[in-house]
Amino acid sequence: MRNESRKKSILVIDDDERVLMALECFLETEGYETTTAWSGHEGIESLRSRKFDLVLVDDHLWDMDVEALLKEIRRMEIQPLVMLTESMPAPGAMERYADLGANSWVGKWASCDEIATAVRECFAKKALEKVLL
């Protein structure tokens, strides 16, 4: 029997240490087990070494193209995925990200309530999909 009381695990991939620290602190106070990666390559290694319930990905990373990262995450069949954006995404970017597996997006400097809502909505959608399957 599966242990439903286990904390949900979240991987945050961002190249801004301030964002990593803030999201790790906030998400852990919300009751999530949080792991951070400061680059796309480090994020991929984390995903290869353990399973996460949700991945938050910065839309601009210093070490790799975000679309290449999303393709790798999609190949690994990891869902759900939330994009963290610095500002309003370029026209068509969110559609491309959605085609590559992103479920939603939120500004990386959004309020704690907005970030918490995006995370909860992804988990709720994932739970609903399991029920419908």
DSSP 3-state of 120: helix
Residues 104-130 pLDDT 10s: 889 888 999 999 999 999 988 877 766
For the entire predicted model, the pTM comes to 0.88
The residue assigned the tokens 């559609």 is 95
Tens digit of each residue's pLDDT, the chain (133 residues): 444 568 999 999 999 999 999 999 999 999 999 999 999 999 999 999 999 999 999 999 999 999 999 999 999 988 888 999 887 777 888 898 899 989 888 988 899 999 999 999 998 887 776 666 5
Q: What is the pLDDT of residue 5?
A: 62
Tell me the two tokens of residue 39: 């680059």
Architecture of the domain delimited by 9-132 = 3-Layer(aba) Sandwich (3.40)
- Please give the C-alpha separations between residue 61 and each of 37, 123, 129, in angstroms, as whole numbers: 11, 25, 30
Q: What is the pLDDT of residue 1?
A: 41
If you write DSSP's letter for every residue of 54-72 in order, what string do you get?
Answer: EEEEES--SSS-HHHHHHH
